[in-house]
Amino acid sequence: MTNHERKNNSFALRLKLHRESCHLTQQQVADILNINRTTYTKYETGVSEPSHEVLGKIVSIFGVDYNTLLGKGKLTPVVQDPFDNEFRLNNLSNDEKMLVIAYRVMSDEDKKSILDSTKEMVKREKAKGSDENSD
């Protein structure tokens, strides 16, 4: 086995382990990446490698850096919340996972829009809760 084949197998294995630890199917990841599931399967089996652009999206989806996915670092995807509490992506509900993953691959402009909308929704919910408690 050549160094390239060994490196590619390491990437393929890590890719599969990250996906499985997040409890995502190949189809779900392929849909997020906007690629065919067969194409994604080839990444996990080491038959082919993703383009730099697709690799960047994969890194975002799993919340890891390039080195972790390419062969260095721990295999557990971790998301950092604003309060410095760690939580693991694999402990989220499917809906929560899809929200986090979708956010990770959005443009900066779309992220800002989503955050602004979310802040407004939270304010409304807090106001509604205050109104109910004052009754």
Q: Which residues of the chain have pLDDT under 70?
A: 1-9, 72-92, 130-135
pLDDT of residue 29: 92
DSSP 13-63: HHHHHHHHHTT--HHHHHHHHTS-HHHHHHHHHTS----HHHHHHHHHHHT
Query: What was the pLDDT predicted at 130?
Result: 66
The pLDDT of residue 131: 66
**Contact in structure between 19 and 29 (CB atoms under 8 Å):** yes
Residue 79: DSSP 8-state: E
Fold of the domain built from segment(s) 3-104: 434 Repressor (Amino-terminal Domain) (1.10.260)
Per-residue pLDDT, 53: 92
pTM over 0.75: no
Domain chopping of the chain, boundaries: 3-104, 108-135
pLDDT tens figures, 22-32: 778 999 999 98
